[in-house]
């Protein structure tokens, strides 16, 4: 059994503190759901665990079986068994899916995978996830629909077999059929040697992939933890009742779209 332990984690983005002391213990065999209103730090938590350079850990610790995760580079974190299924996977022109997937699989193998075995494994998984047969030859996520990108994240998870999978809104952009395909894939990975942390707004995903632990993250802190009953309560009542418990909640700032054509001067005038 492996344990991912997060203690008193504080994370800044630029000058702003987003996570204000997170404590979380995840053991293999468990499925954790993290819920909470937008803009309160859920994605930040997952990105900080993976090591995105934009997120600065100012204090606290993350350990995996007593190994210090925070001192590892992003690729080392991946190779020790962490995986982040991203909310917005990058599109990388020129890099084919098959070159990328092969390189990623080989990164954790002592001997490179044989071409035959690679193609067989890839084809099998592409079929199970009901993906485009041409996927291997297409450029990484380029021109993929939202749903295809999410399925491609799940495909990578299946090929790389992480111990700890962090899935950031993996259900957004999926239609009902695709949601079933993806949740079946996550369920098929469930074992004593696999743990998953899911961030989502929708009960539907948690209905299909039943979490063992549910946490509510508000204003950079986990304010409540429990079982599946929390999912149901939030689905029925939203987050208002949490405010009534005296917990301050961050409202997501209204996003002003900046249109490419608009000139820089105008924007700065508006903000004065």
Partner 1 sequence: MNNFELNSSYFIVFKNQECIQSSLPNEVHYDQHHLVFQNKEPIEIQTVFLLDNDVDFSITYTFEQNTQVHIIETRILQNQASFHKIMNLKEQAIVHVFHENNSQHLENANVKEEVYLQRNAVCHSGYAELSDSSVHGEYLYYLDGENADAKVRMAILSKEKEKKYFKVLIQHNQPHTYGQMDNYGVVKDQGQLTIDGIGTITKGQHGSSSHQTNKIMVFDPDCIASANPYLFIDEFDVKASHAAGVGKMDEEHLYYLQSRGLTKKQAMQLITYGYLKPVIEVIDNEMLKEHFEKVLSKVGA
**Which residues, at least 6 apart from 245, have a Cβ–Cβ distance to it below 8 Å?**
223
Placement of tokens 């092969």 in the chain: 102
Residues 121-160 that bind partner 1 (CB under 8 A): 139, 156, 160
Collapse the DSSP code of 243 into the 3-class scheme (helix H, G, I; strand E, B; otherwise coil) and give the result. helix
- Residue 258, interface with partner 1 (CB under 8 A)? no
Token digits of residue 53: 């350079």
- From candidates 38, 61, 67, 90, binder to partner 1 by CB under 8 A: 90
Residues 40-79 that bind partner 1 (CB under 8 A): 50-53, 73-75, 77-79
- Residue 167, interface with partner 1 (CB under 8 A)? no
Token digits of residue 43: 């994605």
Token digits of residue 83: 């995986």
- From candidates 56, 99, 132, 184, binder to partner 1 by CB under 8 A: 99
Proportion of the chain in helix, strand, coil states, percent, rounded to 5 = 40, 25, 35
- Residue 186, interface with partner 1 (CB under 8 A)? no
- From candidates 9, 45, 86, 230, binder to partner 1 by CB under 8 A: 86
For partner 1, the closer of residues 106 and 187 by Cβ is: 106
Q: Cα–chain-centroid distance for residue 59?
A: 22
For partner 1, the closer of residues 160 and 181 by Cβ is: 160
For the chain, how big is the Rg over CA atoms in Å? Answer: 20
Residues at the interface with partner 1 (CB under 8 A) = 50-53, 73-75, 77-79, 83-84, 86, 89-90, 92-96, 99-100, 103-104, 107-108, 139, 156, 160
């Amino acid at each position: 059994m492996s344990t991912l332990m997060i203690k008193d984690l504080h994370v800044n983005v630029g000058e702003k503190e987003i996570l204000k002391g997170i404590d979380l213990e995840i053991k293999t065999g468990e499925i954790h759901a993290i819920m909470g209103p937008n803009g309160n730090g859920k994605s930040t938590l997952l990105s900080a665990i993976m090591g995105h350079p934009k997120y600065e850990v100012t204090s606290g610790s993350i350990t995996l079986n007593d190994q210090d995760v925070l001192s590892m580079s992003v690729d080392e974190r991946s190779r020790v068994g962490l995986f982040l299924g991203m909310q917005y996977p990058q599109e990388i022109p020129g890099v084919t899916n098959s070159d990328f997937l092969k390189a990623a699989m080989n990164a954790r193998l002592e001997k490179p995978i044989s071409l035959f075995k690679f193609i067989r494994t890839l084809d099998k998984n592409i079929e199970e996830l009901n993906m485009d047969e041409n996927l291997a030859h297409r450029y990484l996520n380029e021109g993929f629909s939202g749903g295809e990108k999410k399925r491609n994240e799940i495909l990578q998870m299946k090929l790389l077999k992480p111990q700890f999978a962090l899935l950031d809104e993996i259900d957004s952009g999926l239609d009902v059929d695709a949601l079933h395909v993806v949740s079946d894939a996550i369920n098929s990975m469930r074992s004593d040697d696999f743990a998953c942390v899911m961030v989502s707004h929708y009960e539907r995903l948690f209905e299909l992939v039943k979490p063992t632990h549910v946490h509510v993250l508000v204003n950079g802190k986990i304010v409540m933890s429990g079982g599946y009953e929390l999912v149901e309560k939030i689905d029925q009542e939203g987050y208002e009742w949490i405010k009534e418990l005296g917990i301050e909640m961050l409202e997501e700032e209204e996003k002003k779209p900046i249109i490419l054509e608009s000139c820089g001067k105008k924007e700065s005038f508006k903000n004065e």
